[in-house]
Structure 1
């Protein structure tokens, strides 16, 4: 009986290990399908009509408002590893000065470098200073009135 329980336990651990290492795929973003995009005419449609036909994107021109960018990414999550982007599609709809569609282009990961659209990381101002040096550097900056409240 004990041998059978060990064998079942080993099988359970093996199955759990294999399941933990299997890939999980997640999709982020939105890019209109070809049939939806066929409704947009270059030189005819404006920002308003493009928004009505295929929807407004979550990202537009960062430095100027010359284009709309629809971005869709597919990530692979495997076990405890960092998620890895395996597919990216960017649809760029650019407008001329009068606001009509000038160009429609599709780009993928194979078309160039991965460009980080937004970065939300706070950089520290402390560079090259160890924790001990920071702590010791505060000695002498305190006065008794700071602790007493006068």
Structure 2
């Protein structure tokens, strides 16, 4: 009985699962936006809040939806990605509306957080051992 349960559990772990994340407006909603007329406020009102906006210059609204496939213990894989980009001119009026798919794109880093390591290539153990004997009683009294 236990062996059958283990077999069923291992088979259930290999089931493919799909997960969607994000929001992209429908084509009917995009038809309500007029290039050269509508503004940031009317776009947000009609389409909703964007997934993100222009990172450095606030030049546009970006609506992103991704579908991931999970298969057992492997890393999730992006199987579909759709991006709707609404760009604005300097006055905040809609300049263009574009739709991209996974086949159109390339990875774009929106944010990068890197901690620098100024240890000169030494590991943590070498740094700790190097400091043994570098303390004096006076340094603790200050």
Residue of structure 1 equivalent to 2:69: 76
TM-score normalised by length of structure 2: 0.86
**Aligned equivalents of 2:48 and 2:105: distance in 1?**
26
Residue of structure 2 equivalent to 1:109: 102
Q: Note the aligned Cα RMSD (angstroms).
A: 2.0
Q: CA deviation at 1:55?
A: 1.0
Q: Identify which of 110, 126, 129 aligns with 2:122.
A: 129
**Aligned equivalents of 2:118 and 2:16: distance in 1?**
38
**Aligned equivalents of 2:121 and 2:72: distance in 1?**
34
2:90 aligned with 1:97: yes
2:116 aligned with 1:141: no
Residue of structure 2 equivalent to 1:63: 56
Q: CA deviation at 1:52?
A: 0.9
2:42 aligned with 1:49: yes
| Cα displacement string for residues 58-85 of structure 1 (whole angstroms, at most 9, x for unaligned residues) | 3110110111111111122222222222
SS at match of 1:71: strand
- Structure number with higher helix proportion: 1
